[in-house]
Each structure stands twice: as structure tokens, then as C-alpha cells.
Amino acid sequence: MYQPQPFVTRLAFKCSDRPEAQEARERLAARYGDVGPENAQVIVALGGDGFMLESLHEAIASQTPIYGMNRGSVGFLMNEYSEDGLLERINAAERAVIHPLAMVAIDARRTQHRALAINEVSLLRQTRQTAKLRISIDGKVRMGELVCDGALLATPAGSTAYNLSAHGPIIPIDGRVLALTPISAFRPRRWRGALLPQSARVTFEILEADKRPVSAVADNFEVRDAMEVHISEDRGTSLAMLFDAGRSLEERVLAEQFSA
């Protein structure tokens, strides 16, 4: 999972719109230089977890590694902020390679929408009516009807985000599984979800879609009035995050399982 990082000297800095992130970018760029994303060996992202996800999506084409420093709030995916010894920290960093989920959502007009999700693909009811979903795995119906507020399929990297808030399991970052988690399941009320192999192809069919409309959301990309949603892991796309030595993503995910 973790590989040595080639010696890095060329950095590109990007920041969120928070004032503290913008101020940090100016100081760091003046101190270490800023070569721009197209020439960078590593992109330094300054912000919170939401900004890290945004930066990862922008890096899909180039697959440039991203080293985040927390200038936001939660910062689970970020390193601690420090302006000293940045090149040394990056060159000693541990690399976590993740693969996003590929979503194909078909809406009520039979239009196909494609998107990648680094954390999760969520299905969410659009109105006061509960959603009714049929769930198939690799072409076989596994749940004929799930009555719920929604459901989600999470990657290991995303298992500590929305998935955890919905009482889904935390998955080790090198776990070869995906978490299928219901959101406020009404029937079957006691169903808590499933762990699926990373090769699984998951299909959600929205039942009574006219009466019970559902949105499909891949990270921050939303498709309204979804009718069918097909999800699988995109093994052809690899995204790299860099973490300070001893503070790897694997260690953070493990520690999260023992937090109060």
C-alpha cells in the first residue's frame, strides 16, 4: 500500500477560500517556490477535508500526489500545519493509494450521468416520502425492497466519513472491501448493511420513483430523479495522498476504531 516517494523539490500550492488557507499559501509559496500543478511533483493542498476531496478530483487526470495541511476544521485527511521543514516532511511521507468508485446514474429521462466518487456514492430521498430501493450485487438481487431515507456505498477511504455517521463500519485502508450501508432503514429495520468485495458491481433500482424520487450523489456530483444507479470500483484510476511518517492514513483509520 505504501511506497517510497521519489525525492521531491517541485511543489504546487493550492488553497481553499478560507482566509487562513490563503495566507498560508502566500507564505509557503514565497518560501518554497510554486511551480504550478502541471510541473509539480507534489501538490500541497491547504484547507479541510472537503478541499482535499476537491483537490483529489482535480488530480485525477495527472494523478499527481497530494500532501494536505489542515487549514480547515476536521482535517482527518490532512497533515498538521507547519511551515518548517516542508520538503523534508514530504520526502519522508508515506503514500496511500486509493481507487475511486465509478457511478453511472440513469435519470427519469433515461439520460446517463457518469461520475467518480472518492468517499462514497449516496442515494438520498428527495421528499418527505421514504425511498424504496432494490439492491443487486453482480446481477443478482440481494434485497428486493429496502425502505429507507437512503443508502450508500463507501470506499475504505470514505468509510470514516458519511458511512460512519450512518453507523456503517470503518474499513482498514488496505481492506479489499466496500461498505454498503443503509441510511435510517425502516424495513427491514434491523438490517445494518453489508461488506462487499472490492470487485462487486452494485446496482440500485429506485422503486415507485414517481412517488418517491431519489437523488444519486457521487461525492459532490448530484443526479436528481435517479431511476437506476450502477457502481463499481475504478481500478484503472489511482490517487495518491501523502501523510507524515508515523501518521499514515492506515494508522488514522485504525485509531478511529478505538476513539470514543
Catalytic site residue from 34, 49, 107, 225? 49
Query: pLDDT-based confidence at 6, cuts 50/70/90?
Result: low
Query: pLDDT-based confidence at 254, cuts 50/70/90?
Result: confident
**pLDDT of 214:** 98
- According to the annotation, is 163 in a ligand binding site? yes
- According to the annotation, is 79 in a ligand binding site? no
Q: Dump pLDDT digits (tens) for 57-69.
A: 999 989 999 999 9
Query: pLDDT-based confidence at 255, cuts 50/70/90?
Result: confident
Rounded-to-integer distance, Cα 12 and Cα 127, Å: 43
Please give the single-letter amino acid code of residue 42.
V
- According to the annotation, is 119 in a ligand binding site? yes
- According to the annotation, is 164 in a ligand binding site? yes
Cβ contact 30:203 at 8 Å: no
Name the maximum alpha-carbon separation found in the chain. 59
Q: Dump pLDDT digits (tens) for 186-243.
A: 999 889 999 999 999 999 999 999 999 999 999 999 999 999 999 999 999 999 999 9
- According to the annotation, is 20 in a ligand binding site? no
**pLDDT of 2:** 43
pLDDT value at 246 more than 90: no
Identify the three-state secondary structure at position 110.
coil
Please report where in the chains the cell 467518480 appears, as a residue.
Answer: 116
Region class of 138: left (phi > 0), else alpha (psi between -120 and 50), else beta: left
Rounded-to-integer distance, Cα 9 and Cα 195, Å: 41
Active site residue 49: yes
Cell of 245: 511518517
- Tell me the CA distances in angstroms from 244 to 9, 22, 77, 191, 218, one per residue in order: 17, 22, 11, 38, 28
**pLDDT of 252:** 83
- According to the annotation, is 23 in a ligand binding site? no
- Which domains does the chain carry? 9-96+237-255 (3.40.50.10330), 99-231 (2.60.200.30)
Region class of 246: left (phi > 0), else alpha (psi between -120 and 50), else beta: left
Q: In the chain, what are the helix, strand and coil shares in percent, each to the nearest 5?
A: 15, 40, 45
Rounded-to-integer distance, Cα 155 and Cα 235, Å: 12
- According to the annotation, is 49 in a ligand binding site? yes
What is the DSSP secondary-structure string of 53-75?
HHHHHHTTTT---EEEEE-SS--
